[in-house]
Amino acid sequence: MGLRLKIIMNPSSGRELARNNVEDTIAYLASQKVLERADISYTAGPFDATRYAMSIHQEEYDMVIAVGGDGTVNEVVTGMIRGNIKLPLAIYTSGTVNDFATQLKLPSIPSDFARMLMNHKLINVDCGKVNDRYFLNVLAGGLLSDVAYKVPSELKTNLGPIAYWIEGLKDFTSISKTIPLTLKTDENTYNIDALMFFISNSRSVGGFKRLMVEADLNDGLLDVLVIAKVKYAEVLPLFNKIAIGEHLNSDKILYFQTNHLEMSVNSDESIVLDVDGEEGPSLPATIDCIKDAITLIVPNEEELL
- The residues annotated with a catalytic role in the active site are 278
Distance between terminal CA atoms of the chain?
A: 27
The answer to whether the CB of 223 falls within 8 A of the CB of 257 is yes
Element housing 25 (H / E): helix 18-31
Among positive and negative, which fits the CA dihedral 230, 235, 240, 244? positive
Which pairing describes strands 35-42 and 3-9: parallel, antiparallel, or unpaired?
A: parallel
d(CA 206, CA 263): 21
CA 234 from chain centre, in angstroms, equals 28
d(CA 30, CA 204): 34
Element housing 255 (H / E): strand 253-258
d(CA 275, CA 132): 12
The answer to whether the CB of 287 falls within 8 A of the CB of 132 is no
- The radius of gyration of the chain's CA atoms, rounded to the nearest angstrom, is 19
Among positive and negative, which fits the CA dihedral 38, 43, 47, 51? negative
